[in-house]
Homo-oligomer: A and B are copies of this chain.
Amino acid sequence: MVWDAWGVPSGHAPLPEKIRTLLAQVFGVSGEPVARRAADDVPLRPRALTGEQLAALSAVVGAEFVSSEHRDRLLRAGGKSTPDLLRRRAEGPQDAPDAVVFPADHEQVLAVLAACAERGIAVVPFGGGTSVVGGVDPARGRFGAVIALDLRRLDALVDVDPISLTATLGAGVTGPQAEKLLGAHGLSLGHFPQSFEFASIGGFAATRSSGQASVGYGRFDDMIQRLRIATPSGTVELGRAPASAAGPDLRELFAGSEGTLGVITEVTLRVHPTPETVAYQAWSFPDFATGAAALRTVVQTGAAPTVLRLSDEAETGLNLARAGDVGGNAVGGCLAITTFEGSAAHARARSAEANALLAAAGGTALGEQPARDWEHGRFSAPYLRDALLDVGILCETLETATSWSNLAELKTKVTAALTDSLTAQGTPALVMCHISHTYPTGASLYFTVVAKQADDPLAQWLIAKRAASDAISATGGTITHHHAIGADHRPWLGAEIGEVGVRVLRAVKQAVDPAGILNPGKLIP
């Protein structure tokens, strides 16, 4: 990952002419990118670890796996939200962990935690660094120093069970590495969030990630069979069976714990045979309500697509679901995408059932191509966001979920909160939305917001984000469907789980991390 933007350098490209034209028309910006700081020129907060502390960490993992180098620290300075990038592009010194520690295995993670608990050093577990909610900010809490615990060396396919269709992966395995390792066994995980190319297995579990094929293969938490976790109080291994009535499911306490309760070091996951075929079918609906009702019918009937998405009128109009052609000719109405994976017969039977339902619900079949276009560009939206930031446009996303019956109300309220807030700041916004995760009882809503940057774009966005979060909370949505809590959503968690819920989280934290070194300032209110 580059330090001040998403992804790899090769993913970044100048804005296409048609987008520059659009920006000039709508927002009156020229489309000329500003210069960014060179990584080596960025002053970092001075290192706070003592020689004794560095020696203790080196004694655990080896001196070559403890780095206080400028570049290593800078690359773990935080996540990839728009506020993160705005902060990183601003002038002045940059906060960063005091050192980056690279443990080799579970036992070294345990030993690092013990060493840090003893010395009062905060620990931020670090996977792909793709958090968009401040989840990997190098916060020190009440401690004088903080390390990033980078899990990339835990990169093995530990075990495959081709009978039970499960696989155990190290926490540091990235999305592409997982697919490659499993692919050698004819298997696939099928977890494709937008962060797929960089994010890690441990991060997926710690944040309850949800991929674009969640309708077909489930959310990441659904896939978890077994977790191995290192805590300052020792090892926890959870999950003996596909399902159990042996009391509370403690896996669900550590899944989504965002590094505050322990460091997930290994995850055993449900996998599936590499699909023989993929069937693609795109649809157009006259409006969002009709399209949403159609998706609802499909998922409530159990027609079982692998991917099922719907863009609203604004997103469809900008062609945002077809990354290669944003701003180009759109299909009109509301674009829906379906894919069906499995054996040829299975995919054929399921797509026939879903197609009949979608047609009966008012959809017009658009053939395969728009669905293939969506798939082709599905990981590239963050690069476009970065290019927009460079030319003075504010662009950010946020997401929520609710029941089907509350979906329209929630969409209206969040859209109004965003547009009102940004209009009131003198920067009218374009707000687009899609449904990308559906369940029999409800769905997610994913918003993309575009406006002209104000003089202080960070403050500008935080006002809009707060308004949207308040609207989500007041309208009964969850503050996050798949981005997690981190630091940014923490003020809204209390309303969601209540006072007793917060007390429970604090009690668990106290039990497993009595010194409080694990990811301070995240998740727990």
Contact = CB atoms under 8 A, between A and B. Distances in A.
Interface of A: 161, 163-166, 207-210, 219, 221, 225, 231, 233-238, 240-258, 261, 270, 272, 296, 300-302, 304, 342-343, 345-346, 349, 353, 400-406, 437, 439-444, 476-485, 489, 493, 496-501, 503-508, 510-512, 523-524
A393 to B, nearest CB: 27
Contacts of A483: 245
A368 to B, nearest CB: 22
A441 B163 CA distance: 8
Contacts of A244: 208, 401, 478, 480-481, 496
Contacts of A253: 248-250, 252-253, 504
A250 B342 contact: no
A503 B510 CA distance: 10
Contact of A248 (B164, B476, B482, B505): B505
Contacts of A238: 497-498, 501
A135 to B, nearest CB: 11
Give the most central of A164, A272, A301, A489: most B CB within 10 Å: A164
Contacts of A235: 498, 500
Nearest to A254: B248
B246 A480 contact: yes
Given A342-B301, A403-B164, A507-B510, A501 B236 contact: yes
B234 A499 contact: yes
Nearest to A443: B242
Contacts of A240: 402, 476-478, 496
A503 B233 contact: yes
Contacts of A479: 246
Contacts of A231: 500
A253 to B, nearest CB: 4
Contact of A163 (B210, B236, B405, B511): B405
20 contacts: A161-B403, A163-B404, A164-B404, A210-B245, A221-B249, A235-B500, A236-B501, A242-B401, A243-B444, A244-B480, A245-B256, A245-B480, A245-B481, A246-B485, A249-B253, A250-B504, A251-B252, A500-B512, A504-B511, A507-B511
A390 to B, nearest CB: 29
A166 B210 contact: no
A510 B504 CA distance: 9
A243 B489 CA distance: 16
A250 B346 contact: no
A380 B253 CA distance: 38
B511 A242 contact: no
A346 B245 CA distance: 31
A497 B257 CA distance: 17
Contacts of A353: 345-346, 349
A97 to B, nearest CB: 23
Given A236-B500, A500-B233, A245 B209 contact: yes
Contacts of A346: 301-302, 353
B247 A257 contact: yes
Given A236-B498, A246-B478, A302-B346, A165 B241 contact: no
Which among A248, A257, A440, A506 has the highest number of chain B CB atoms within 10 Å? A248
Given A243-B439, A245-B256, A272-B300, 6 more contacts: A231-B500, A240-B476, A245-B480, A247-B484, A304-B304, A504-B511
A480 B507 CA distance: 27
Given A225-B441, A241-B478, A258-B247, A512 B508 contact: no
A502 to B, nearest CB: 10
B342 A302 contact: yes
A479 B244 CA distance: 8
B243 A437 contact: yes
A241 B440 contact: no
A406 B163 CA distance: 9
Contact of A507 (B234, B256, B508): B508
Contact of A405 (B161, B246, B497, B503): B161
Contact of A496 (B246, B477, B484, B511): B246
A22 to B, nearest CB: 32
Interface centre among A210, A240, A241, A511 (most CB of B within 10 A): A241
Contacts of A252: 248-249, 251-253
B503 A511 contact: yes
Contacts of A270: 440-441
Nearest to A499: B234
A105 B512 CA distance: 36
